[in-house]
Amino acid sequence: MKNIAYYNGRVAPLDEMMVPMNDRACYFGDGVYDATCAVNHVPMAFDDHIDRIYRSAKLIDIDIPMEKDEMKRMLMSLIEQVEGDCLFVYWQVTRGVGMRSHAYSGAQSKPSIWAFVRPCSMRDPYGAYRCITMDDTRFLHCNIKTINLLPAVIANQRAEEAGCDETIFHRGDRVTECSHSNVHIIKDGVLRTAPCDNLILPGITRAHILNICAKAGIPVVEEPFTLEEMMAADEVFFSSSSALTCRVREIDGKPVGMKDEATFARIRDAYQQELRAECGLA
């Protein structure tokens, strides 16, 4: 198959799938999601992504009506039916279906589970990318991977309109993250990345990068850094499950980084090797 979708037990091609209008995703974006890529039909960092959606759901009082192992089996069954060397795997859980009401304490159906799988391509890990910056006006629960993504949608649209690849958010002078990735800098051989507080999503790729740095002896500082520090860094890069590690060469039209390729390459190449081994390509 070219693609496939799932909604509460029903499976069909993505463009044939229908969902009830009263699913709370439609009115409130009331749900959480996760996503990864499957290479060679092996979903990358699968357990980490599964664990994260259950954490996110718990933070907004959603009790997922499916055990983790059952969810993994359901997603794997979809992955195995879609053709392609690289697949995008997306799944979300919403609070369920019920008459529109802001409060969710009333009678509602059990949470709804959505998923789809389609072919995709990943960003070139050896490319150099361009970014813009924007004020981070999102709410204060960015650690929850919620389907409320309008600010990220607008920010990514602004990047596209500027001929750029990603938007870097900041609150005042503090750099937080990007519209759909984490951002990091390297200065004097030290990796600096924002701490996992409520202002960023704790990225799965981010966690793997920190583990790689620990093994490679690359110092890491998990503290906020400023716009000025980012612009003066030896390297700037963003990371996500579909972007992996993307080196940044320009921010707001000004050249940045590109001064410590050796350190960046150690991180990039180690992660590439780790993923190839995980997907049976090593």
Q: What digits encode the pLDDT tens for the residues 114-160?
A: 999 999 998 888 999 999 999 999 999 999 999 999 999 999 999 99
Least confident of 119-128, 167-176, 183-192: 119-128
Would the pLDDT of 237 be above 70? yes
As a whole number, mean pLDDT of residues 85-89 equals: 95
Q: Which of 143, 145, 270, 266 is nearest to 208 (CA)?
A: 270
**Amino acid at site 43:** P
Which of 86, 119, 152 is where one domain is finished? Answer: 119
Residues 100 and 141 in one domain: no
Residues 164 and 234 in one domain: yes
Q: Give the residue numbers marked as catalytic.
A: 145
Residues 88 and 187 in one domain: no
Residues 156 and 264 in one domain: yes
Residues 165 and 246 in one domain: yes
Which of 119, 147, 182 is where one domain is finished? Answer: 119
Q: How confident is the model at residue 106 (pLDDT cuts 50, 70, 90)?
A: low
Average pLDDT over the chain, rounded to an integer? 94
Q: What tokens does 86 get? A: 């690289």
Number of domains in the chain: 2
pLDDT tens across 192-217, in order?
A: 999 999 999 999 999 999 999 999 99
Residues 61 and 111 in one domain: yes
Which residue range forms the structural domain that includes residue 234?
Answer: 128-278
Which of 119, 141, 157 is where one domain is finished? Answer: 119
* DSSP 8-class letter at 110: P
pLDDT of residue 208: 95
What's the CA gap between 57 and 63, in Å, rounded?
A: 7
Residues 234 and 115 in one domain: no
Would the pLDDT of 107 be above 60? no
Would the pLDDT of 281 be above 80? no
pTM (predicted TM-score): 0.94
CATH at residue 248 = 3.20.10.10
